Structure 1
Amino acid sequence: MNTRLQKLYRAAQLLAFITVFYNVLEGVVSAWFGFEDESLALFGFGLDSFVEVVSGAGIWHMVRRQRENPDQAPDQFERGALRITGGGFYLLAAGLLGTAVYDAFQHHAPATTFWGIVVSLVSILSMWLLIQQKVKVGKELGSQAILADAACTRVCLYLSVILLVSSAGYYLTGIGWLDSAGALGIAWFSFKEGREAFGKASGIACSCS
């Protein structure tokens, strides 16, 4: 394997590691404050971060095996990483949909959404930086799985914007259903990206018999 490919694989592994580390931290913080403040949008955002952890771990494992087996077709690795990501998104979408509908009928409102505003602002900046690097490395390696991971990170950016709008909206107006609306927005993006990840997994040509 030439030096350029070695550098690209190292960069891909580093980005996957950063994704895992950052999203574990973000997931714990968001889920904790979301639970404490009874904010479904923030809690769901935390769960989405854990899906990012699964995606990042799958990509890291795939890249490591490809580096160790450069002559082996990588398709089966990429299929696995894409399906892990897709399955996690589907589970998250289903859970958020059911809970958001229940909370809306119960007229539930969070205690505060202050931490939702703080977390979303930090996440918007962090995810934007990660997306730029993942797309660059994914295109140079020609890896659908790394590009799918970048798309997963892009969804996290969109979700950060949804979290910011719903959290700031409730913080300024006190309208309780805005929190449930934010959770529904997160659920929709989660379902959409789960479907796309499975579609890419099915579309990758398999070279194994």
Structure 2
Amino acid sequence: MTEQISYREKEARKSSIVGIILNSFLGIVKVSIGFFTNSLAILADGIDSVTDIITSFLTLIASKIANKPADESHPYGHEKIEPIITKILSIVILFAGYQVLYNALSRLFSEQVTIEQPFLIFIISIISVLTKLFLYFYKKNIGNKINSSSVIADAMNMRNDVLTSLSVAVGILIFYLTGIDWLDSVIAIFVSIIIFKIGIEMFLETSNELMDGSKELGEIYKITIEAADNFDCIKNPHKIRARKSGYVYFVDLHIELDPEMTIKEANKITEKYENKIKELNNYIKDVVIHTEPFENDENEGYGLDKKQINKYFGE
């Protein structure tokens, strides 16, 4: 587990540093060109790149904290910092979207300005498209490898930036061909909508995770059933509850065993069952198993059994 944590931290740090370097270059160039050419569209795209620098820094902080071992104050570990940081990212992105939208609307309904050097804007937009495309695939690959919600969220942000820069490139090309002055403001408004969309999606997804729900949990529920099928002595795994905490998962469940078993025998079986569950997914950090006698009948709280898991998540 220690080697896995060290690898995660190294990969997350590397992806953040690459993001910071490339987005710093794009942000400085696009904002400078925006002021030089009077183009609000490329300026908005530049502001978006500046927020990407912030998201990379926050991702770097998240990976550092998430990999700290559990302590007295945080017995479950520090992994949940990742969705917290991702939620902060979503708020930063939403604020950037608001700033872009406000400025675009202000210019749209005021006196138009002349856009200078449209070909220069087009060139930097194409460079931005290619750079963001690289960052998307690069960060997504690392995020999937280390199962990091904050790195994956950063990758999704890069993917939307591809569309943002592409829209600026197409829009400025149309402006160059037609000379329509207000088109620059319209492009900026479109960019703000894209920024808002990714911010809202990130905010909602992290809210679900912080409330111990996640679209990824179906696989974890299926694993508990699959692992139980390896033991003839285990019956009726039920009251199964799983939750995601950053990049790791916690599972607790009830199983039924022969009532004539000794505590020592039951403990040996549950230990093997727990190891089997973890073997099927290395990111399952802890499994708590409560044992009951066969055909135990009691009023238990919410949790899923095999039938419900198949119903909700498929066979």
What's the counterpart of residue 78 of structure 1?
Answer: 82
What's the counterpart of residue 128 of structure 1?
Answer: 133
State the 1:113 CA deviation.
2.2
2: distance between equivalents of 1:5 and 1:160? 35
Amino acid corresponding to residue 166 of structure 1 in structure 2: G
2: distance between equivalents of 1:170 and 1:191? 25
Amino acid corresponding to residue 93 of structure 1 in structure 2: G
- The partner residue of 2:92 within 55, 71, 88 is 88
What's the counterpart of residue 142 of structure 1?
Answer: 147
1: distance between equivalents of 2:158 and 2:50? 12
Are residues 1:116 and 2:121 paired? yes
Are residues 1:18 and 2:18 paired? yes
Q: Contact conserved, 1:39 with 1:112, CA < 8 A, in 2?
A: no
Q: Number of residues paired by the alignment?
A: 206
State the 1:54 CA deviation.
1.1
2: distance between equivalents of 1:172 and 1:80? 46
State the 1:43 CA deviation.
0.6
1:69-125 CA-partner distances (Å, limit 9, x unpaired): 3772311x1133212221122112212222212222235242232222111111111
Name whichever structure is richer in helix by fraction: 1
What's the counterpart of residue 203 of structure 1?
Answer: 208
What's the counterpart of residue 33 of structure 1?
Answer: 33
Quote the sequence identity (%).
24
Are residues 1:152 and 2:157 paired? yes
What's the counterpart of residue 66 of structure 1?
Answer: 66
What's the counterpart of residue 43 of structure 1?
Answer: 43
- The partner residue of 1:192 within 197, 205, 209 is 197
What's the counterpart of residue 53 of structure 1?
Answer: 53
2: distance between equivalents of 1:36 and 1:14? 33
Select between 91-100 and 185-194 the one with higher mean Cα deviation: 91-100
Give the TM-score normalised by structure 1.
0.89
User: Which residues in structure 2 correspond to 1:100-111 (within 5 Å)?
Assistant: 100-108=104-112, 109-111=114-116
Bigger relative contact order, structure 1 or 2 (CA pairs below 8 A, ≥6 apart) = 1
Q: Contact conserved, 1:82 with 1:197, CA < 8 A, in 2?
A: yes
Amino acid corresponding to residue 173 of structure 1 in structure 2: T
Unpaired runs of 5+ residues, structure 2, are 71-75, 213-244, 246-315
Q: Contact conserved, 1:112 with 1:171, CA < 8 A, in 2?
A: no
Amino acid corresponding to residue 209 of structure 2 in structure 1: I
Amino acid corresponding to residue 42 of structure 1 in structure 2: I
2: distance between equivalents of 1:171 and 1:84? 38
Any idea what SS the aligned residue of 2:85 has? helix
Unpaired runs of 5+ residues, structure 1, are none
Amino acid corresponding to residue 196 of structure 1 in structure 2: E
2: distance between equivalents of 1:65 and 1:5? 11
Q: Contact conserved, 2:51 with 2:92, CA < 8 A, in 1?
A: yes
